[in-house]
Structure 1
Amino acid sequence: MTDQAETLRAIMRQREGQTGADAKRTRIITVASGKGGVGKTNVSTNLALSYAAMGKKVILMDADLGLANVNVVLGIIPKYNLYHVIRKQKRMSDILMDTDYGIQIVAGASGFAKIANLSEDERQGFIEELYHLSHADIIIIDAGAGVSNNVLAFVGAADEALIVTTPEPTAITDAYGIIKIIATEIDNLNLGLKLIVNRVKSVTEGKKVAERVINIAGQFLNLKVDYLGYLYEDPTVQEAILKQKPFLALDPKCKASICINQIAGRLERVEYREGGGVGQFLKKLFGRLE
């Protein structure tokens, strides 16, 4: 057993009595994509707003440690981010930001390469600080695009992983690519892997794209992927991006807003395994990075 693994287990034992009840009820959803430019951050952000509208306490964490942009979508300029927490310059409570949209955000550490490269002392401090998010009902993690070790770690540690794609052939190929790597690189895969097709022109188009990915994953990977839903191509989304405002807030009745609410509703009706939460998430996250 490595020193880092032992440190993690010691912290887990220390914290179990203090935060066990909260950790068990915190649901963690990671949103990922095989490539950039498919609307992953937009999906993450507006899904967080949809959950907040249900009365949930929601934290949106920007886990893209290379090119963080959740704050850009929200029109927020954070003073501090995860980098300051990792370097022990700030506490998690210092960087956790309230927003005008009923959610809290943790800004990403732009330019910070790999969680796996943290020193043992940095990792221990980071684990301690992440426990301060266990008051949330839902934590939505906007992972980086692609298949880096960081992305795989956040996917494998979550209760559900949502893969976002579009009908573009390259996006479909990359979506299958990340699903394949998830299937081969994550041991004892036991999470709800779900597909969202963004920017569709019709219900039929979304269904065809999903069936293509799901059938290939089932045939060649023996992996079950569920079709969670689609988002229409909607001019309101581009308008919202330019205004740096979530489309759900800009126009709650637009096609994209209706779709994201339907997706949140389906997620709420999906059974997810008990005994997860922040504690289990951290155990799996840092276990993968040993």
Structure 2
Amino acid sequence: MADQAQQLREMMKGREEAPVQEKKNTRIIAVTSGKGGVGKTNMSVNIAIAYAQLGKKVIVMDADLGLANVNVALGIIPKYNLYHVIRKQKRLEDIILDTDYGISFVAGASGFSKIANLTAEERESFVVELASLSSADVIIIDTSAGVSANVLSFVAAADDAIIVTTPEPTAITDAYGIIKIIATEIDSLNLGLKLIVNRVKSVTEGKKVAERVINIAGQFLNLKVDYLGYVYDDLSVPQSVLKQRPFLVNEPNGKAAICVKHIVSRLEKVEYKEGGGVGRFIRRLIGRM
């Protein structure tokens, strides 16, 4: 893997400056979780829509290269996905799909276990293609669940990493687990690490779960994790999933939708920092490869 990474860096010499010449500082947010089933993809899609409602140009990229499902949440059947880009059958700009919800999205590739398994040539092509996303204000990257090398690559390269958990004991344990691995595996932790507690019954429950995770991370890992907010356990969410429509659109005044709007407001106003842009994201991603 190290040899392939070196080859990629050599091939990228003279090209790295091109992606950096951006018209805007794109903010790149990776959304991840320690386990599946906590609502990570739902959070990614609806956070993107909330950003779009603020007038931002938003792209959601499904970075799950094994079990991609952002398209399911959006009710869209894509003809092409990242597999075709990586295999040089399509350009990334050719597979970006507009939606009825004010956001665009890039479908994930099914069948790949991780980017690290790609050849140097395939990774070079993929990295160069990422530069075409730099016209967006915000890119939401929906990673796969768990702690694969692929997940860590996207988390390390992003400006912010949002970890989604629920009040379930297993979900809390897995949330701490992925935070621990992020703290130990990523050498330079320059990203903002944030926590969302999904499916809470009350404000108090969300706060208690967050305090538990944050306190343990601070005590044992010396790592600061910001509590971004909670999302209520709202019947409109599973109903929206069945309809394959984002709950922010299907039930815009529902409890879950209002919570997500508050979360995006906090992302914009509380300790807000401009994104490093696609260029910096690409350089960090290369480093992880």
TM class by shorter-chain length?
A: over 0.9
2:110 corresponding residue in structure 1: 110
1:122 corresponding residue in structure 2: 122
| Cα pair 1:40 1:164 within 8 Å, conserved | yes
1:224 corresponding residue in structure 2: 224
User: Which shows bigger deviation, 104-113 or 160-169?
Assistant: 104-113
Alpha-carbon distance in structure 2 between the residues aligned to 1:224 and 1:82: 34
| Cα pair 1:159 1:272 within 8 Å, conserved | no
What is the CA-CA distance between 1:3 and the residue it aligns to?
A: 1.7
2:234 corresponding residue in structure 1: 234
Q: 1:7 pairs with 3, 8, 11, which one? A: 11
Alpha-carbon distance in structure 1 between the residues aligned to 2:155 and 2:71: 21
Instruction: State the Cα deviation string for residues 165-195 of structure 1 (Å, max 9, x = none).
Output: 0000000000000000000000011110000
1:173 corresponding residue in structure 2: 173
* Aligned structure 1 segments of 4 or more residues deviating by more than 4 angstroms: 272-275
- Asked if 1:191 is matched to 2:195, the reply is no
What is the CA-CA distance between 1:271 and the residue it aligns to?
A: 3.7
Alpha-carbon distance in structure 1 between the residues aligned to 2:222 and 2:14: 37
Alignment of 1:39-50 (within 5 A): 39-50=39-50
Alignment of 1:1-290 (within 5 A): 2-13=6-17, 15-16=18-19, 20-22=21-23, 24-273=24-273, 276-289=276-289
Alpha-carbon distance in structure 2 between the residues aligned to 1:96 and 1:45: 15
Q: Secondary structure at the match of 1:140?
A: strand
What is the CA-CA distance between 1:26 and the residue it aligns to?
A: 0.3
* Paired amino acid for 1:21: E
Instruction: State the Cα deviation string for residues 202-236 of structure 1 (Å, max 9, x = none).
Output: 00000000000000000000000000000000000
User: Which shows bigger deviation, 105-114 or 231-240?
Assistant: 105-114
* Paired amino acid for 2:140: I
Q: Secondary structure at the match of 1:144?
A: coil
Alpha-carbon distance in structure 1 between the residues aligned to 2:270 and 2:135: 22
Task: State the identity %.
Answer: 71
What is the CA-CA distance between 1:8 and the residue it aligns to?
A: 2.9
- State the aligned residue count: 285
* Paired amino acid for 1:113: S
- Contiguous gaps of at least 5 residues in structure 2: none
* Paired amino acid for 2:109: A
